[in-house]
Structure 1
Amino acid sequence: MVRFGEDGGILGGRREHGGGGRRWFAAAAVAAMAMGTMAGCSEDRAADSATSTTTTVPASTAACAEDLLACLGRSSLGDIAPTEPSEATGEPIVLGMINQENTPLGSYPELSSATRAAIEFVNAELGGVNGRPIQLEVCNTEFSPEGSTACAQGFVQDGVPAVLGGIDVFGNGIDTLEENAIPFVGGIPVSTQSVTNDNSYQWSGGTWGATIAFANHAATEVEAEKVAIVYPEFGPITSSAEYGRTTLANLGVTDVAMVPYPITATDLSSPIQAAASNDPDAIVMLAADMGCKGAFDGFATVGVTAKVYLVGACASPAIIEEAGPEKTDGTVFNVEGPIDRSEANVDFALYQAVAEKYGDGFDPIGAGTVTFRSFMNLYRIMVGLDEADLTPAGISEALGAQVDAPSFMGHPSTCDREQLDGLPALCSPQQILAEMTGGELIQIGDWVDVGAIYGAG
């Protein structure tokens, strides 16, 4: 294993919330990376690419905007679509949401904005749940473990039947909810608790799913004999890198170089140089957000010829345009929804249309797709329950009973806590891979069942 020291000018002895600057700065970087990773996982990049000639998604979105109910009927949640619109009335059902907003170390209001848009749609046109409107209470962790716990404690006192996830690097609140048997549903799975706690239900594979899919492709398609995994050294991301190494070993690839680097680093040439020194056939790079440009620049500077894998955030049209095709073509990315435009993506078109009609101006191309999906999947559960079962226990039981259930803008989900070994909260960790070609993402094959590859729980 190769290790690199800190970039001395990055941390500067900064202190926040009474803790060490290194801890808080690193955690902030994790939040940014998690957001970037999930945004890339869920965006419809093929439709947004400047070089794409596809017009299916805009046409579908326009059609959805004309009749949201009809569009819902054609979506993956068509079985719960009413025939006529109806507005919810009566006593509201209050749901909680834990998110990080309005802090100097990162603010992600688009996650709650997307959820609110979905709820407005449900209340105004779908009749809420059993005729009752849903009310969302968002609690801001203010980027601290104490804030995470305080949010959960408040929701316990309020007696909410479920809490939706936004982003919470620390995850302490999930522990508090688990102690009180309240389900924690969806969001950005970045904390250890979000992927392991018994009360957590996630419709994503996070960086774990991405790394397994990359490792499988490198071993089976590239037929790599030597692989390097380059990753920012911090908790869950390190865990994801280890999942990749185990996957490679299980597939017969034992010459694997693990190359961690400080998560606050901006110049990635040194770790990339170390990764390339063993002349690998493939390099898995777990960088996102600001690290994407550094990764593309580093690969070009070092002259890497190996197959390169990067998380979906790095396929952002803005990043790809800035880097240019010489640096990006041939790179493989992960996504968590089909981007093959041979058929209209009705789920994504509905999401965009709802965001346009009921949103507060948030950008629908981004991580809001994740929280919108989370709520719509929870809503599907809730409308199937009797009034007496709209409780933490009733919702948890219904979530746990899901087998190949539709997941909005995602792979069908099974919440039996056995989809991916060691990560029982992941209900649908499956991934899709896509390769950048001429500035456009081209889907490679179908869904990758990362649980089957790594080993189910």
Structure 2
Amino acid sequence: MRLARKRPWVVVGLGLGLALATMAACGSGSSGSSGMPDENAATGTPIKVGFFRPDSGVATLPGVGAGMKAAVSYVNGELGGIDGHPIAVEDCSIDGTPETTISCANKFVQDGVVAAFDGFNLSSSAGVDTLVAAKIPLIGQIPFDQTTGSKAEGRLFFGAPQASFLVGALQGFKAEGMTSATLTVQDTPSGHNTVDTELKPLAAAMGIKATGLYFSPTNPNFSAVASTIASTSPDVAGLIASPSESICTQLVRNLRSIGYKGAVFVAACTAFIKSDPASAPGATLYSSIWLPGSEKNAPAEVGQQIALATKYIDKAGGPADYYAYGQFATVVDFAKGLATAASTDELTGQTVLTTLRSLKDFPSFLGPRITCGIPTTPDCTTQMLLFTVEKDLTLKPVSGGWITPLPAILSTIPGAS
């Protein structure tokens, strides 16, 4: 079925400390409740981008849409756009299947976008060839599709590759004396690929016994999954990756309810901390960025960035989860990175990719300093954060800050270094 085409949307927000205004089209400016125009609002020719929006199917991630809306509001309003040019978004719904990804990639070509935001798409590789042929770069935070992350052609991710999070987490576990891990993931081809080509070989290279288990993407039984995990008596148990926050909450609750006392690993989930605070302390999660709750352990400027992102994400309607902050950071890095171009008046897909690949020692939003354009990888860094949930429900970095996964281990995974 052909997806309905939508008009591009441009969100224009007022400056920090003023009321947020959202508009469905670009124009000569925006007005707040006072009726006065916002002096920072972008009024130049819009920069049209595509957005793979994961808002249907089993891979629904509402935080991604909230983060996109919030970031565009911030960039177009408070930052004045990209050198005066507002971001105009052509969004397209995906459900995690190759079919919807292909349909959206074709739509973006027809719409003439100069970049397409990945949106944590599990099937992004299905549309890469179409985008590459049209010279439209794919931009994201983490390549959730391992095939997409295996090559650098026509794509760029501001965060680390998938393998970094597994390697970094395993390094953290080993440093704390853990020698066995049983982790679960969705029962999909991508999930099996992650277990067979990443988890098992990476753990073996680090001297950790790893077991991979699977749960149904449509009808998971987390009571049974938790029991199976616990039966292996691992030092650490949990998720390799999670398609939703509710899955994390259910698994953590079931592991604790059957008496599992070991370490719990919850991928990039955070909502369980509020929804089930009694089970949260002691859990470990990974992230490509600093997250709310980590402020007391983060640099001062990070706390300011978290507050800024939270303000806009809340006004966008949330949820304020990892995916919202990750997408927010991606759009901000995209905008600030493109602002370094000699001219933004006539951007093309090729100039967008060339400009972003030229970023060196770039201070990413909520992330580390990054260097892009490495020929062997689409990722601008390999660094990641591993947090433990404290008794007061704050987040503490396992190593005090950024973890750099062992290069020798990462080099065994195509595109990871």
- Residue 384 of structure 1 and its aligned partner are, at CA, apart by 1.4
- Segments of structure 1 that go 5 or more residues without pairing to the other structure are 1-16, 18-62, 69-83
Aligned-residue offset at 1:211: 2.4
Q: Which residue of 2 aligns with 1:258?
A: 212
3-state SS of 1:372 partner: helix
Q: Which residue of 2 aligns with 1:221?
A: 176
Q: Which moved more, 1:153-162 or 1:260-269?
A: 260-269
**Structure 1 CA distance, aligned partners of 2:119 and 2:406?**
24
Q: After TM superposition, give the deviation of residue 408 of structure 1 in Å.
A: 0.9
CA 1:158–1:410: 2 relative to 1, 3 Å: same
Identity %: 21
1:413 alignment partner AA: I
What is the one-letter code of the residue matched to 1:337? Answer: I
Alignment deviations for residues 212-248 of structure 1 (CA, whole Å, 9 cap, x no partner): 22211222222x3333333333233334434233232
Task: Confirm whether residue 410 of structure 1 aligns to residue 363 of structure 2.
Answer: no
- Determine the C-alpha separation between the residues in 2 that align with 1:297 and 1:249: 29
Any conservation in 2 of the 1:112–1:138 contact (CA below 8 Å)? no
- Is 1:393 aligned to 2:354, yes or no? no
> Who is 1:96 aligned against?
50
Partner Cα separation in structure 2 for residue 451 and residue 402 of structure 1? 23
Equivalent residue letter for 2:94: T
Q: Which residue of 2 aligns with 1:380?
A: 336
Structure 2 counterpart of 1:156: 109
Name 1:87's counterpart in structure 2.
Answer: 41
Residues 208, 455 of structure 1: CA spacing in aligned structure 2 closer, same or farther, 3 A cutoff?
closer
CA drift of 1:439 comes to 4.7
Normalised to the residue count of structure 2, the TM-score between the two structures is 0.76
Please tell me whether the aligned partners of residues 216 and 247 of structure 1 are also in contact (alpha carbons under 8 angstroms). no
Letter in 1 for 2:363: P
Residues 253 and 276 in structure 2, CA contact (< 8 A), matched pair in contact too: no
1:361 corresponds to = 317
- How many angstroms apart in 1 are the aligned matches of 2:272 and 2:408? 28
1:320 counterpart residue number = 276
Change (3 A) 1:299 1:206: farther
1:123 corresponds, among 76, 79, 83, to 76
Alpha-carbon distance in structure 1 between the residues aligned to 2:61 and 2:210: 36
Q: Please, which of 203, 221, 227 is the counterpart of residue 267 of structure 1?
A: 221
Q: Offset at 1:396?
A: 1.1
Residues 206 and 318 of structure 1, relative CA distance in 2, 3 Å threshold: farther
Tell me the SS of whatever aligns to 1:450.
Answer: coil
The corresponding residue for 2:202 is 247
1:262 corresponds to which letter in structure 2?
S
Matched, 1:296 2:237: no
Q: Aligned with 2:388: secondary structure? A: strand
Residue 334 in structure 1 maps to residue 286 in structure 2: yes
> CA-to-partner distance for each residue in 1:70-117, whole Å, 9 max, x for gaps?
xxxxxxxxxxxxxx954332432222212133x465655553443233
What does residue 48 of structure 1 align with?
A: none
Query: Quick one: which of 181, 188, 194 aligns to 1:234?
Result: 188
The number of residue pairs the alignment matches comes to: 368
CA distance in 1, matches of 2:60, 2:182: 33
Say whether 1:307 aligns with 2:263: yes
State the Cα deviation string for residues 117-151 of structure 1 (Å, max 9, x = none): 33333333433334333322212236653332222
Structure-1 separation of matches of 2:200 and 2:271: 24
Give the match for residue 379 of structure 2: 426
- How far 1:447 sits from its partner (Å)? 0.9
Contact map agreement 1:116 1:136 (CA 8 A) in 2: no
Distance in 2, Cα, partners of 1:259 & 1:300: 18
For the Cα contact (< 8 Å) 1:174–1:193, is it kept in 2? Answer: no
SS in 2 for 1:230: strand
Contact 2:182–2:210 (8 Å) recurs in 1: yes
**Secondary structure of 1:337's partner?**
coil
For 2:123, give the aligned amino acid: F
SS in 2 for 1:185: strand
Distance 1:308 1:124 in 2: 41
Structure 2 CA distance for partners of 1:404 and 1:245, relative to 1, 3 Å: farther
Task: Give the TM-score normalised by structure 1.
Answer: 0.70
Q: Whose RCO is larger (CA < 8 A, sep 6+)?
A: 1
Check 1:273–1:206 CA distance in 2 against 1; reply closer, same or farther (3 A cut).
Answer: farther
- The question of 1:146 aligning with 2:99 is answered yes
Name the residue aligned to 2:327.
371
- In the alignment, the residues of structure 2 paired with residue 104 and residue 278 of structure 1 have an alpha-carbon distance, to the nearest angstrom, of 32
Distance 2:61 2:239 in 1: 24
Letter in structure 2 aligned against 1:114:
G
Q: Hey, what does 1:449 align to over in structure 2?
A: 404
* Mapped partners of 1:109, 1:450: distance in 2: 30
Does structure 1 retain, via aligned residues, the 8 Å contact 2:288–2:384?
yes
Whichever structure has more helix as a proportion of its residues is 1
Q: Distance in 1 between matches of 2:265 and 2:304?
A: 28
Aligned AA (2:169): F
| Counterparts of 2:73 and 2:225, CA distance in 1 | 47
Unaligned runs of 5+ in 2: 2-14, 21-37, 412-416
RMSD of equivalent CA atoms: 3.3
Change (3 A) 1:416 1:246: farther
Q: Do 2:142 and 2:162's aligned partners in 1 also have CA atoms closer than 8 Å?
A: no
Residue identity in the other structure for 2:165 = A
| Equivalence for 1:199 | 154
CA distance in 2, matches of 1:260, 1:143: 17
